[in-house]
Amino acid sequence: MKLSQLFTKTLKEAPADEEAVNAKLLIRGGFVFKNSAGVYSFLPLGWRVLTKIANIIREEMNAIGGQELLMSTLVEKKYMEPTGRWNLDVSYKAIPQIDLDSYIQNSKFKIQDSFVLGWSHEEVLTAIATKYINSYKDLPFSAYQIQTKFRHEPRAKSGLLRGREFMMKDLYSFHTTQEDLDNFYKKAAEAYHKIFERCGLKAVYTKAAGGVFTDKFTHEFQVIADVGEDTIYVCDKCEYAENKEITKLKDGDNCSECGSGKIEAKKSIEVGNIFDQGTKYSEALGLEFADDNGNKKPVIMGAYGIGLGRVMATAVEVYNDEKGIIWPENIAPFRINLIVLDGKNKEAEEIYKELGADNVLYDDREDKTPGEKFADADLIGCPIRLVVSNKTLEKENVELKKRNKKEMKLIKIKEVFKEL
Ligand code: ATP
Ligand code: MG
């Protein structure tokens, strides 16, 4: 993409009310726009990052058999009441409808069943499944969506780490036996490790409490970072970890899992969470299957979430310097930031064409100084910077610098295509 065509611009200053590094850098770089506290719009650069994260998640969810779908965002009361989650604080309620007919006939207001803006979709998918699942032969299956969730988060101060509106991948799995769920749970955990690794993040598998989702233990994927709101107790050797909320572990304890490591308390960000939900939702909403003797049993369920914006913000929190963002390769908005100095030339145009508009952010702006172009490249944070100028062209060279390295090197233009 040509930078001269991009409608957004970088900003020298972040809004004064933003405290979080991720929000400051993402706003300054033109990745997101802050609409309200905890409510962000994704601008073209930010949407590219989010789409890359979404596609990595999709590939790994499809690889374990997850079927992608999209559920409704408005969730009617009748779904949430049976599970006791209608009146939870996290809900944003949609404005109740007035039944006009009854108003005209009786001169009375009748508030119809109202809706909540979906904040998790166990109930909706369980209700859908009751229409299709009858026997053990219909199980197991798993399905997921990538969708906007709405939550009333009182402390929306961490930028995209904690939004009131945010994109989540939520997968749900349905099983006949605990053993089958346990096997799938392990597969999902492996898929999660792959996802975070591909996004450039190292996530620690952490035992945790289930909150409003389940009474059982759950597992979180925690990225160690000082800005994190969570504290985990993690072994410095085997990485066995427990969330502070449940743990009896203390800083300095010997690790009982591996026997040789020491437990340390670390601040961390929860980027994903997986739950064994048992039969909580299937019993409440009547999702049963007939076993091979024809006996009806409740379906056993699991749920598996990842916050896409939180993954993006975590990457920014972990990978940045005083100049800007340093994107991990796979989720960078563009792999290459090509800068042309001293006016456009055919060599730069050719590099752009050859490496492709989808890989290259081409800084072809005529009204910017070299200093401004370099500052923007550092702020936006593409992994590779290429510079073509009169000087480099004297010897048919282009200058290459990686965003996470100090050194620059000159390479022949012809070699660029081989090297990148
Ligand atoms: P937290 O304890 O941080 O509030 P949670 O336990 O409520 O998270 P889940 O309901 O399990 O989170 O949601 C699944 C995933 O969605 C989380 O692991 C996280 O990555 C993401 N997520 C949850 N809440 C938010 C939020 N307010 N903003 C952005 N991402 C979120
Ligand atoms: Mg929460």
Here the CATH number for the domain that contains residue 37 is 3.30.930.10
Q: How far is the CA of 346 from the centre of ligand 2 (A)?
A: 52
- Structural domain for 399, as ranges: 334-419
Does position 259 have pLDDT exceeding 60, yes or no? Answer: yes
CB distance 163 to ligand 1 below 6 Å: yes
State how far the Cα of 278 lies from the Cα of 79, in Å rounded to an integer: 18
Asked if residue 113 is part of any domain, the answer here is no
State which of 214, 230, 244, 273 you would mutate to test the pocket of ligand 1, scoring each by most atoms of that ligand within 8 A of its C-beta: 273
Q: How far is the CA of 208 from the centre of ligand 1 (A)?
A: 13
The reply to whether 139 and 270 lie within a common domain is yes
Question: Which range has the worst mean pLDDT, 2-11, 15-24, 175-184, 264-273?
Answer: 15-24
**CA 137-143-149 angle, 5° bins:** 150
The reply to whether 301 and 415 lie within a common domain is no
Q: Quick one: pLDDT at residue 110?
A: 55
What lies within 8 Å, CB to CB, of 209 at 6+ separation is 217, 218, 243, 245, 246
Q: Quick one: pLDDT at residue 89?
A: 87
Q: Which runs of consecutive H residues, i.e. helices, occur in 131-207?
A: 178-198
The reply to whether 228 and 343 lie within a common domain is no
163-184 average pLDDT score: 98
Does position 125 have pLDDT exceeding 70, yes or no? Answer: yes
Asked if residue 380 is part of any domain, the answer here is yes
Does position 111 have pLDDT exceeding 60, yes or no? Answer: no
108-129 average pLDDT score: 85
- Say what the pTM is: 0.95
Question: Which range has the worst mean pLDDT, 6-15, 100-109, 393-402?
Answer: 100-109
Last residue of a domain, one of 293, 321, 349: 321
pLDDT digit string, tens, across residues 336-359: 999 999 988 899 999 999 999 999
Does position 102 have pLDDT exceeding 80, yes or no? Answer: no
Question: Which range has the worst mean pLDDT, 57-61, 155-159, 187-191, 375-379?
Answer: 155-159
State how far the Cα of 108 lies from the Cα of 219, in Å rounded to an integer: 50
Question: Which range has the worst mean pLDDT, 22-26, 170-174, 212-216?
Answer: 212-216
Q: Quick one: pLDDT at residue 119?
A: 96
CB atoms within 10 A of CB 11: 13
- Smallest-distance ligand from the CA of 90: 2
Indicate the average pLDDT of the chain.
94
State how far the Cα of 278 lies from the Cα of 214, in Å rounded to an integer: 8
Q: How confident is the model at residue 335 (pLDDT cuts 50, 70, 90)?
A: very high
Last residue of a domain, one of 321, 355, 373: 321
Helix/strand/coil (H/E/C) assignment for every residue in 340-377: ECCCCCHHHHHHHHHHCCCCEEEECCCCCCHHHHHHHH
Q: What is the CATH number of the domain that holds 366?
A: 3.40.50.800
- Residue 122 tokens, joined: 């166990």
CB distance 145 to ligand 1 below 6 Å: no
Last residue of a domain, one of 321, 345, 376: 321
Question: Which range has the worst mean pLDDT, 83-87, 234-238, 302-306, 366-370?
Answer: 83-87
The reply to whether 255 and 351 lie within a common domain is no
Q: Quick one: pLDDT at residue 100?
A: 64
State how far the Cα of 25 lies from the Cα of 327, in Å rounded to an integer: 12
Among protein residues, the one whose CA lies closest to atom 18 of ligand 1 = 272
The reply to whether 134 and 237 lie within a common domain is yes
Please check whether residue 176 is in contact with residue 139, taking contact to mean a CB–CB distance below 8 angstroms: yes
The reply to whether 262 and 407 lie within a common domain is no
Q: Quick one: pLDDT at residue 344?
A: 83
Give percent of the chain above pLDDT 90. 87
Q: Quick one: pLDDT at residue 99?
A: 64
- Smallest-distance ligand from the CA of 222: 1
- Residue 30 tokens, joined: 């033109």
The reply to whether 290 and 377 lie within a common domain is no
Please check whether residue 167 is in contact with residue 307, taking contact to mean a CB–CB distance below 8 angstroms: yes
Asked if residue 327 is part of any domain, the answer here is no
The reply to whether 236 and 338 lie within a common domain is no
Asked if residue 99 is part of any domain, the answer here is no
Q: How confident is the model at residue 419 (pLDDT cuts 50, 70, 90)?
A: confident
Q: How far is the CA of 179 from the centre of ligand 1 (A)?
A: 27
Element (H, E) at 46: helix 44-63
Asked if residue 2 is part of any domain, the answer here is no
Among protein residues, the one whose CA lies closest to atom 2 of ligand 1 = 270
Asked if residue 326 is part of any domain, the answer here is no
The reply to whether 284 and 409 lie within a common domain is no
The reply to whether 186 and 278 lie within a common domain is yes
The reply to whether 348 and 295 lie within a common domain is no
Q: Quick one: pLDDT at residue 17?
A: 87
Asked if residue 102 is part of any domain, the answer here is no
pLDDT digit string, tens, across residues 239-251: 999 999 999 999 9
13-19 average pLDDT score: 89
Asked if residue 394 is part of any domain, the answer here is yes
Number of domains composing the chain: 2
Phi, psi for 333 (deg, rounded to 5): -60, -40
State which of 270, 276, 304, 317 you would mutate to test the pocket of ligand 1, scoring each by most atoms of that ligand within 8 A of its C-beta: 270
State how far the Cα of 59 lies from the Cα of 328, in Å rounded to an integer: 18
The reply to whether 341 and 306 lie within a common domain is no
Q: Quick one: pLDDT at residue 269?
A: 98
Give the 3-state secondary structure of residue 389. Answer: coil
Q: Quick one: pLDDT at residue 103?
A: 62
Among protein residues, the one whose CA lies closest to atom 12 of ligand 1 = 273
CB distance 310 to ligand 1 below 6 Å: yes
Instruction: Please name which of 273, 312, 303 lies closest in space to residue 53, comparing C-alpha atoms.
Output: 312
